[in-house]
């Protein structure tokens, strides 16, 4: 194979890499993108999209199965789910999205090469393709190789010990599912599996599940998990599994044995930096992650890194935003990472959405704040959706009402994430949101009311 040259080479076609390549193509940059597995990366194939499909299916099944208990007046008998068909439906969505991304890359005139890339030096990559090694020389290289599940020494993956990838393709529901790690993935998949009918136990190392969020916001999630019969063991870690029994030890040294047909390990994700020849480049690392500056430049000129491989927050929309920015920098535009916030959503039941600073973070930064919280129990739309638990909370500067952070928990509340991000990115004050007409009846009225509450004159409480 003859060697190839390009201005930009992107390694990895996940949300970071494919967005970078598409934007670069739009800007007329001669771009090659290399992908070892499937276009779309973790997010489209084994992450965001498959998990949200499973969550939707589980919600539908649970709601139909339990409608008799609801006061609405709907009844249904013999509600069944064919998990094989659910997975086939999920796979179709994934294929549609993967094909869509491949089409967008093509339309942007970027060249897609299938194979595993490895640095030979800071400007040269060798790709192991099905047809043999392909050498590519590039003026700029973007590392967007993403992340993989962390494996525990006591519970190596294989057999009944699975990662999220296998959990999102199970065609038979485990009767007893143990989940080690009560973070984003454990809580999202655990809720879905419990709604499908599995007996779920979550084993969490720290004192609470979802330790990134404050206790008040996690409370409605815990209440629903309790209703679903999910057992939560905090301050605990897994010691090993023998004959379908998971052994747990808590911080006081007490042991417990849990029956488990499958053990899902979700204790975080590690960057995919091995085997790509980074050692030879001697890049400055940030722990296990690739160190970057405000332009996503690594310590080697012309080598950029974006997405999960650069660390937390490991979120698809952050990877995409970095990818878009790097393409523009390579095109010569004056860009740098000056985002005011990266929103996060946890698709539990109810959902959690956060953007910007929490009250605790603002106080520890020495900022004097005021807060406003509006309960969804006082929101008409929430009542009509039978989703009354939760609230919207705003954190603002006490001196000038600048909104610093927004947090909410509630059914369907993830859709407020855009309003939250726009408010913070555009420097909105409590008065701006309070004076903006919010359509009635919508959950977004909760945002307006939280701001009015912080100003001391909420209307509906
Ligand atoms: P990835 O998506 O991991 O893509 C990296 C790509 O690089 C892969 O396709 C890989 O095959 C390829 N690659 C690696 N090494 C090489 C090599 N040497 N040569 C060529 N190609 C290579 N985030 C959200 O924002 N919202 C969610 O709801 C959400 N849900 C999630 C649910 C689950 C179960 C999981 C696991 C993750 C979820 N995430 C979610 C996180 C999200 O998937 C990641 O943040 C996102 O995919 C990171 O994008 P990336 O481009 O950095 O890497
Ligand atoms: P996580 O960091 O969210 O949670 C890991 C959990 O495991 C933590 O609560 C941690 O205390 C616990 N833990 C660590 N070691 C343990 C041990 N030995 N025993 C028991 N518990 C242990 O990680 P994750 O759930 O694997 O998700 C990985 C990343 O994927 C997240 O950082 C997130 O950015 C991304 N993600 C995002 C979404 C979303 O945006 N909705 C959904 C899924 C995943």
Predicted confidence (pLDDT) per residue in 305-352, tens digit: 999 999 999 999 999 999 999 999 999 999 999 999 999 999 999 999
What pLDDT was estimated at residue 286? 97
**Res 22 pLDDT > 90:** yes
Ligand 1 is surrounded, with C-beta below 6 A, by 11-17, 34-37, 41-43, 47-48, 51, 116-117, 144-147, 164, 185, 272, 276, 307-308, 314-317, 319
Q: Which residues contact 73 (CB under 8 A, 6 or more apart)?
A: none
Ligand 2 pocket: which of 247, 256, 267 to mutate (most atoms <8 Å of CB)? 267
Q: For the chain, give the percent of residues with pLDDT over 70.
A: 100
Atom index in ligand 1 nearest the CA of residue 269 equals 36
Q: How far, in whole angstroms, is CA 125 from its chain's centroid?
A: 30
What pLDDT was estimated at residue 240? 95
What pLDDT was estimated at residue 232? 97
Look up residue 401 and give its two tokens.
């009402």
Least confident of 21-30, 64-73, 92-101: 64-73
Q: What is the mean pLDDT of residues 90-97?
A: 98
Given the DSSP bridges, would you call strands 31-35 and 111-114 parallel, antiparallel or unpaired? parallel
Q: What is the mean pLDDT of residues 70-81?
A: 92
**Res 99 pLDDT > 90:** yes
Give the ligand at the shortest distance from the Cα of 184. 2
Q: Out of 438, 440, 457, 460, pick the active-site residue.
A: 440
Give the ligand at the shortest distance from the Cα of 187. 2
What pLDDT was estimated at residue 248? 96
Mean of all residue pLDDT scores within the chain: 97
Angle at 305 between CA 128 and CA 53, to 5 degrees: 80
What pLDDT was estimated at residue 431? 98
What pLDDT was estimated at residue 324? 98
Domains of the chain and any CATH numbers: 3-149+270-331 (3.50.50.60), 161-267 (3.50.50.60), 344-455 (3.30.390.30)
Q: Model pTM?
A: 0.98
Nearest CA to ligand 2 atom 36: 184
Q: What is the band of 279 on the pLDDT scale with cuts at 50, 70, 90? A: confident
Q: What is the band of 251 on the pLDDT scale with cuts at 50, 70, 90? A: confident
What pLDDT was estimated at residue 70? 86
Task: Give pLDDT tens digits for 410-437.
Answer: 999 999 999 999 999 999 999 999 999 9
């Amino acid at each position: 194979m003859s060697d190839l040259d390009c201005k930009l080479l992107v390694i990895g076609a996940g949300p970071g890499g494919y967005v970078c390549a598409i934007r670069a193509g739009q800007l007329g940059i001669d771009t090659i993108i290399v992908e070892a597995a499937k276009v779309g990366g973790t997010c489209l194939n084994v992450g965001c999209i498959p998990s949200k499909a499973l969550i939707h299916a589980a919600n539908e099944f649970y709601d139909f199965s339990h409608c008799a208990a609801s006061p609405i007046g709907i009844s249904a008998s013999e509600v069944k789910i064919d998990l094989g068909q659910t997975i086939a439906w999920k796979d179709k969505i994934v294929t549609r999205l993967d094909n869509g991304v491949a089409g967008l890359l093509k339309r942007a005139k970027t060249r897609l090469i299938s194979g595993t890339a490895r640095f030979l030096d800071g400007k040269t990559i060798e790709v192991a393709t099905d047809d043999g090694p392909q050498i590519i020389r590039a003026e700029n290289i973007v590392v967007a190789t993403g992340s993989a599940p962390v494996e525990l020494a006591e519970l190596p993956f294989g057999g009944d010990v699975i990662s999220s990838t296998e959990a999102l393709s199970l065609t038979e529901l485990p009767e007893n599912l143990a989940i080690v790690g009560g973070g984003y993935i454990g809580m999202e998949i655990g809720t879905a599996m419990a709604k499908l009918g599995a007996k779920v136990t979550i084993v969490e190392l720290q004192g609470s599940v979802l330790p990134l969020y404050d206790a008040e916001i996690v409370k409605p999630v815990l209440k629903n998990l309790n209703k679903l019969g999910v057992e939560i063991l905090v301050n605990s870690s897994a010691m090993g599994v023998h004959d379908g029994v998971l052994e747990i030890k808590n911080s006081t040294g007490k042991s417990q044995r849990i029956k488990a047909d499958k053990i899902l390990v979700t204790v975080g994700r590690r960057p995919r930096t091995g085997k790509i020849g980074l050692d030879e480049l001697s890049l400055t690392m940030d722990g296990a992650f690739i160190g970057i500056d405000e332009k996503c430049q690594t310590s080697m000129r012309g080598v950029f890194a974006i997405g999960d491989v650069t660390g937390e927050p490991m979120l698809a929309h952050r990877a995409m935003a970095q990818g878009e920015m790097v393409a523009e920098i390579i095109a010569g535009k004056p860009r740098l990472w000056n985002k005011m916030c990266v929103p996060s959503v946890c698709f539990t039941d109810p959902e959690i959405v956060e953007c910007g600073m929490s009250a605790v973070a603002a106080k520890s930064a020495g900022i004097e704040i005021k807060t406003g919280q509006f309960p969804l129990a006082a929101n008409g739309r929430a009542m009509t959706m039978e989703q009354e638990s939760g609230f919207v909370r705003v954190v603002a500067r006490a001196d000038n009402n600048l909104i610093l952070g927004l947090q909410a928990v509630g059914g369907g509340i993830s859709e407020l994430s855009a309003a939250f991000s726009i408010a913070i990115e555009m420097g909105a004050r409590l008065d701006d949101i309070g004076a903006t007409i919010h359509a009635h009846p919508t959950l977004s009225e909760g945002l307006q009311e939280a701001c009015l509450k912080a100003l001391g004159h909420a209307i509906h409480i």
